[in-house]
Amino acid sequence: MICSVSIAVLYAPAMRFDLIGFDDAAYVLQHDWVRAGITWHGIVTAFTTDGGIYWHPLTWLSHMVDAAIFGQDAGARHLQNIAWHVGSALLLFSLARRFQAPVWWALAGTLFWALHPLRVESVAWVAGRKDVLSGFFFLMCLWLYTNYAAAPNARRYAAMLGAAALGYLSKPSIVTLPFVLLLFDWWPLERRWRWKLLLEKVPLFAFSIAVSCATYLSQKQAGALAMTRDAGLAERVQNALAAYGWYLEKTLWPTNLAVIYPYPTVISAAVWAGCGLLLIAISAVALWHRRSDPALLCGWLAFLGMLVPTIGLIQAGPQPYADRFTYMASLPLTVALAAGVAALANRAPAAWRPRAVRLLASLAIGAILMLAVRTHEQVLTWRSGEAAFAHAYTAVEGNTIAAMNLTALRIGKGAYASALRPAEMAALAEPESAVHQYNLGAALAGLKRWEESERALLRSTELDPERAEGWSLLGRVQREEGKKVEAIRSYREAVRAGLSPVEESRVRTQLGLLLLGVGQEAEVEREFRAAVEKNPANESALLNLVVFLSGKNRLEEALPLARLALQRFPENRQARGLAASLEARAAGSGAGKP
């Protein structure tokens, strides 16, 4: 009850939050088969697509259930995340009590895990559904495995495999499950070693291998493996050591947490070597006390192992670590920390032991309360995409990824002045990034600082000539500067690079007007007609074509188009005026009768 209420109170504000846009669109808004709710087509698609992200059909199905029951209500989606997290906390507490952990220690460990700020990303982010789902079924699998180990039979084994399968179908990071179960056999189950222990996990190993291969291929196809520089094995190992150190630091001192962290350009030898020595030291202590405190070694090894898929040895994406990667990996670390605290209490002299226990209990309560305060603050940073990235931009120095996303969001809402500072930071930190130069140019264009905007956009198109929107915006800026010839070239490059039909229609309309302005009338009609073909709803393109043909006295061609414009846009004054004028001219000349 305490766990459920505490989680509900801390995460209740999330039910008022909207989708933040960062991956939420990919899971909730982008796919028609998800928005349609539970349909046969959607179910088949959920099992046959990776959606450009992961193969996790159960996660897709959960979003489809949301759509079927709640429509597009973001608050209900957040509520489901919270409910799964509550379920995981209750399972964790139940597991602790099943192995005779004192009720207050079990409660303290559960609250430490469930209320920790590192959980916020997985719970308060709709796209974090895969974490809370896989975490719940991971814990359910452990719970059912204890039943099976106590009295093995086919029914209990099938139930355990079923829970594991649901975990695999929720998120690929559960691939370490068979290794965790082998550790579980050693402690707390204390099963005597036999080859049967390994054989009974063969189905899990097979599923882990299959899911790992599928995930690697989908990430490679989606380009996630190419989103960071090609680091050698030594550099990846150094980053992995530093990441382990980061996870330990943030577990004990969870400050400056963010939606995303930049991949470090350089990891000093002092950092990675220090982290490596720390890992060795902790491992040595846990190994030394393996007989007296097996929970310490078991929890520590499980923590190290469960992070392997996300630690950066195979880098997928630009982030070196993430809060969400700790959702399951922190479970055994919590066990190890609780075991360490309990060991300290047990090693106190008998006369001082009650006081030691009370002191440690007081410290644990104080730590949990402080974590709860930090969690509340962290939850509020997820109230919107802009809030999440603004926090990440200020919390993590040099966070160019956060700056890039924050700039784009502010530009999208027309807040150009507030978008300029993060855009400048990102462009200065990574001057060879076409995206950063484009964002800087867009912010400057919004502020009508045309000359500076042109310089940034020229650099962006130089770095990435295939970025169509860069050429399009450059053409607009050059048009505003009165550089018609340069704008014509930029617009043509935009069309060549490939725009969406609506954007290409807009660009071709502007291109036609510019060509008309420089006297290249032979190409004007072609551009206007192409603009109308690409987007029949483009009023400007159709009306400009009518005006052009009318000006050339091509009344028989202009009049039908004027009638079409009036039919499509009856409220448009220019369309009504053109149609009336051409009808009068046609009546006077006897041409153009329908």
Read off φ and ψ for residue 435, nearest 5 degrees.
Answer: -65, -45
| SS3 call for 179 | helix
Instruction: Identify whether residues 132 and 222 lie together within a single domain.
Output: yes
Instruction: Identify whether residues 509 and 439 lie together within a single domain.
Output: yes
Instruction: Identify whether residues 204 and 144 lie together within a single domain.
Output: yes
Q: Report the alpha-carbon distance of residue 382 to residue 202 in Å, rounded.
A: 41
Contact between residue 224 and residue 263 where contact means Cβ atoms under 8 Å apart: no
Instruction: Identify whether residues 103 and 224 lie together within a single domain.
Output: yes
Residue 530 pLDDT: 96
Residue 226 pLDDT: 46
Instruction: Identify whether residues 364 and 302 lie together within a single domain.
Output: yes
DSSP E strand boundaries for 318-364: none
Instruction: Identify whether residues 333 and 415 lie together within a single domain.
Output: no
Q: Report the alpha-carbon distance of residue 487 to residue 471 in Å, rounded.
A: 9
Distance from chain centroid for Cα 446: 28
What pTM was computed for the model?
Answer: 0.89
Instruction: Identify whether residues 560 and 547 lie together within a single domain.
Output: no
- DSSP 8-state code for residue 553: T
Task: Identify the helix (H) or strand (E) that includes residue 84.
Answer: helix 74-98
Instruction: Identify whether residues 201 and 273 lie together within a single domain.
Output: yes
Contact between residue 56 and residue 78 where contact means Cβ atoms under 8 Å apart: no
* Helices and strands counted in the chain (H then E): 30, 0
Place of tokens 């956009």: 457
Of 380, 409, 442, the position where a domain reaches its end is 380
Instruction: Identify whether residues 200 and 336 lie together within a single domain.
Output: yes
Place of tokens 């350089």: 266
Residue 539 pLDDT: 93
Q: Report the alpha-carbon distance of residue 140 to residue 87 in Å, rounded.
A: 10
Place of tokens 């099943």: 98
Of 380, 412, 446, the position where a domain reaches its end is 380
Number of domains in the chain: 3
Instruction: Identify whether residues 328 and 407 lie together within a single domain.
Output: no
Place of tokens 């919270």: 82
Cα dihedral 398→399→405→410 (10° resolution): -50
Residue 563: domain span: 552-594
CATH number of the domain bearing residue 519? 1.25.40.10
Q: Report the alpha-carbon distance of residue 109 to residue 365 in Å, rounded.
A: 10
Instruction: Identify whether residues 497 and 565 lie together within a single domain.
Output: no
DSSP letters of 512-533?
A: HHHHHHTT-GGGHHHHHHHHHH
560: its two tokens: 């039908």
Q: Report the alpha-carbon distance of residue 358 to residue 27 in Å, rounded.
A: 47
Alpha-helix runs per DSSP H in 464-523: 468-480, 484-497, 501-517
Of 334, 353, 380, the position where a domain reaches its end is 380
Q: Would you write out the chain's pLDDT as a tens digit for each of its 594 residues?
A: 788 999 999 999 999 999 987 888 888 888 899 999 999 999 999 998 876 567 899 999 999 999 999 998 999 999 999 999 999 999 999 999 998 888 888 999 999 999 999 999 999 999 999 999 999 999 999 999 999 999 999 999 999 999 999 999 999 889 999 999 999 999 999 998 899 999 999 999 999 999 888 777 776 665 555 444 566 788 889 999 999 999 999 999 999 999 999 988 788 999 999 999 999 999 999 999 999 889 999 999 999 999 998 887 765 556 789 999 999 999 999 999 988 887 777 777 777 778 877 888 888 899 999 999 999 999 999 999 999 999 999 999 999 999 999 999 999 999 999 999 999 999 999 999 999 999 999 999 999 999 999 999 999 999 999 999 999 999 999 999 999 999 999 999 999 999 999 999 999 999 999 999 998 888 999 999 999 999 999 999 999 999 999 988 888 899 999 999 999 999 899 989 988 988 888 877 655 544
Instruction: Identify whether residues 495 and 446 lie together within a single domain.
Output: yes
